[in-house]
Chain A
């Protein structure tokens, strides 16, 4: 017997020197990463513009039937956060933004010099009046105006939405409110406009007048305008809300599985960004670390806050451009089955669109057309987005709205108030919908602390008890070995005494909560800690499983 043991020991000793392969590791040493690498040169990417009518048709009649995969977003890091990338830079909720920073937003350069303008070309996208023009400093701008019926509204909305989406982390174009005086305009001799016949002829002052007739004119004869700076880099068209760019080596994650694109369902609902189409995005090649990489922009977020292209349409934010169930309902009832948009009360201000918060429901909000990313949103994505929205304090919202330069203080206050109402409805809908444990921390002494985002925001009562299940975790195999379990009425717990002490060892702590009003909290948030020399580092957090059953927690908040 002793001889056999000796032999076995020798064999095991010999085999023990074989290092564990890193393939299959759940956590790498650099987890959680804070930035998505962009390691390859993308200069071969070519312009690709997405056809408007094709996109509308596909989104309305094909994408609309897309069945969500119910899988976790693929670009989140191991603690369920979105690392910085060419798509998103974490700002609010990650860093403390001041009102001044939000008011400045993406603007790093001076605004336009409106002492003189040179019109360079017609505006070819969108229906709002405008054109491309060069200011007195020689800078090129995309200039667009307010509709006569809503003086100040569109320009304000572009400003406000740009600043808010910048704070949310999206790449935004520098925009400014400026003035445009037709008396100080010249037309570039090379400027052309496409006529009805399809031919291009010289842009004339009459062409400018046609544009300005559709714009709100100030009493002094000038026009208030929104000026968007020409993007740096080489513009290569739009990005899609599904799939990847086949010519961008750094674009690995299908866009419908990028959390920040799924989350536009929440952010879009907040601001009522109804024109959520690929045509309102831009990809641009920029230089970074000596190579070309693609920056992805939400280029036009102006169809927000109740303003959109066609003022005769009331259903924006409530129905798709074509909405099958609503069509059927109205058809069969001969219009007597009223839709919410037919009765919702709006406060009327000339400088504000149709924007309200009392009837708003983030879970039923709809853009003009759905996108695949929009339909892929699941509970953990919405939770992430809702935390970003909730990070906007009342003061920050007021700071963002103030950049709209409303001439009517009541209108400005109305927009800010509605944004706060809608913010709170988003928080109330999405924070309690999944287990809202956040910020777990385990100190060297075994003291576990965490927060409950829904309770902290005042959208749920504290649960009767929190429960933690402690396990050793094998990073190579994924196996767990139970250590113990304990309860607490508070968000502080003490670890069992027999936690592993060797640096590099892992534990898994599954934290659930007992709340009669929020049964989804019984589904534990899985957290993972790695032992370091001076304590425990959070390396993993899984709010929902990789794939969830459609009827499972976290999907009930999805319409």
Chain B
């Protein structure tokens, strides 16, 4: 009896409490979603109360600004790593490009090296003449090279016989390149007014006038002025001059250096061949380069020693010092096996060979100088901003740092 009474009492006490709890739970239930869609909608409502505008983070905004500057024509200042003359060493420089019209530019730039090579110039470029068939380049500037190596004339010179000279050169030129069909074939013509002022050299080697005289070295100490005329024709199927894995260049260039004093006038013919042979889907490329330069003096005139064709340096015989071999005729043959490492980096093994001669009749494929090496090229689809190469030849090792393609 007591038990039943207790049960009744407990029920009486608990039931209202339980009912209250049930009502409370029901109230909660009204707030809690009863369906999957309701649950998602509640989450959407919660987010709706805390919306913020979508915007790029700081890093993205910064990169966007930078890419706009470079790609949208807003970048006026640029680096300029071209030395005044080959052999000047590490080059620092900058330029400023001004658009004179939507497509035509005026680029003013300068560079300097630790050895005192200096260059300052302005170049006007009109890239879209004659219905995009022609491009005009007009340059005015001045440069100075302080310690250009000279090892004597001919093939038999010795690397230990280096002497240095310097020169200063003001120049003004205009060059017009025309592709009549906007295609492979091109013709080019140009006129340059310039003066080469050859002076004693500086640096660790004796100056050239201490080893030679004007009678033993044509043009020593001369300051010839030239009207330099150029005419060229050829075909060029390379996708870009600054970087290519396929295509051909065949060109012939005639140059006339007219000295108004009729002392140092001469003419020069250059023949150049480049062939890129892609293998296994352009992952390997065999690249071949040939360059023949032949200068011949005008009647009764001389070719100054510093104007003679030369080979040696980071673009041709890479294990040889710049301007190592000079004479009236030069032949350069290069072969590279290039390997794609990725879309931005190529490796290459290369072999360079060449020689100079006193004229075409003396040019033989014997006694060739040679070197070989390995290179790394950081490139984009159109250009090679950095080329690092290690070359080895009979005259030793050479490390090449260049801001341009090899060929």
Contact = CB atoms under 8 A, between A and B. Distances in A.
Interface of A: 2-4, 6-7, 9-11, 13-15, 17-19, 21-23, 28-31, 33, 36-40, 44-46, 48, 50-54, 57, 77-78, 194-199, 201, 206, 210, 213, 236-237, 245-252, 310, 312-314, 321-323, 326-327, 330-331, 334-335, 338-339, 341-343
B337 to A, nearest CB: 9
Given A23-B32, A54-B63, A195-B103, A249 B44 contact: yes
Contact of B34 (A22, A236, A339, A343): A22
Interface string B12-49: 00110111011001101100111111111101110110
A7 B347 contact: no
Interface of B: 2-4, 6-8, 10-11, 14-15, 17-19, 21-22, 25-26, 28-29, 32-41, 43-45, 47-48, 51-56, 59-60, 63-64, 67, 72-74, 99, 101-103, 105, 131-132, 182, 239, 245-246, 280-284, 339-345, 347, 349, 381
A393 B29 CA distance: 48
A15 B53 contact: no
B280 A14 contact: no
B359 to A, nearest CB: 41
Nearest to B75: A198
A10 B11 contact: yes
Contact of A3 (B3, B47, B182, B284): B3
Contacts of B101: 197
A48 B340 contact: no
Contact of B342 (A11, A54, A196, A322): A322
Nearest to B71: A53
A497 B336 CA distance: 81
Contacts of A335: 283-284, 339-341, 347
A195 B349 CA distance: 40
A46 B281 contact: no
B13 to A, nearest CB: 9
A249 B342 contact: no
8 contacts: A33-B37, A37-B41, A37-B44, A53-B67, A196-B103, A199-B99, A327-B341, A339-B283
Contacts of A3: 2-4, 6-7
B54 A246 contact: yes
Contact of A7 (B3, B60, B284): B3
A53 B11 contact: no
A18 B280 contact: no
Contact of A249 (B18, B51, B284): B51
Nearest to B60: A54
Given A10-B14, A22-B33, A343-B280, 5 more contacts: A4-B3, A48-B56, A245-B54, A330-B342, A334-B349
A198 B63 contact: no
B102 A199 contact: yes
Nearest to A321: B343
A70 to B, nearest CB: 24
B34 A195 contact: no
A236 B36 CA distance: 29
B41 A198 contact: no
Nearest to A194: B72
Given A19-B22, A196-B73, A197-B73, A252 B283 contact: no
A342 B341 CA distance: 13
B291 to A, nearest CB: 26
Contacts of B32: 21-23
Contacts of B21: 18
A340 to B, nearest CB: 11
Given A33-B36, A45-B54, A19 B2 contact: no
Nearest to B51: A247
Given A3-B3, A10-B10, A197-B99, A30 B54 contact: no
B72 A198 contact: yes
Q: Which A-B residue pairs are the 3 nearest by beta carbons?
A: A3-B3, A198-B73, A195-B102
Contacts of A7: 3, 6-7, 10
A237 B56 CA distance: 12
A117 B343 CA distance: 39
B102 A313 contact: no
B67 A52 contact: yes
B35 A310 contact: no
A17 B73 contact: no
B131 A10 contact: no
A76 to B, nearest CB: 12
Quick one: which of B33, B281, B347, B349 has the most chain A CB within 10 A?
Answer: B281
A32 B352 CA distance: 73
A237 B55 CA distance: 11
Nearest to B128: A206
A28 B39 contact: yes
Most buried by B among A18, A78, A341: A18
B11 A19 contact: no
A18 B182 contact: no
Contacts of B54: 45-46, 48, 236-237, 245-248
Contact of A18 (B18, B41, B132, B343): B18
A217 to B, nearest CB: 14
Contacts of B44: 37-40, 249-250, 252
A249 B281 contact: no
A236 B55 CA distance: 11
Given A7-B7, A322-B344, A30 B37 contact: yes
Given A53-B63, A54-B63, A327-B345, A37 B37 contact: yes
Contacts of B53: 44, 46, 246-247
B343 A322 contact: yes
A10 B56 CA distance: 63
Contacts of B33: 22, 28
B75 to A, nearest CB: 9
A342 B10 contact: no
B51 A14 contact: no
Given A7-B3, A321-B343, A18 B22 contact: yes
- B10, B40, B72: residue with the most chain A Cβ atoms closer than 10 Å: B40
B33 to A, nearest CB: 8
A52 B51 CA distance: 26
A339 B47 CA distance: 48
A265 B132 CA distance: 43
Nearest to B345: A327
A237 B52 CA distance: 16
Given A19-B26, A21-B32, A40-B48, A331 B347 contact: yes
B341 A48 contact: no
A198 B105 CA distance: 12
Contacts of A30: 35-37
Nearest to B62: A54
Contact of A51 (B48, B63, B343): B63
A449 to B, nearest CB: 26
Nearest to B376: A331
Contacts of A247: 51-54
> Which of A22, A31, A251 has the largest count of B CB atoms less than 10 A from its CB?
A22
Contacts of B132: 206, 210
Contacts of B281: 314, 341-342
Contact of B7 (A6, A213, A330): A6
A293 B43 CA distance: 16
Given A246-B54, A335-B283, A341-B281, A312 B36 contact: no
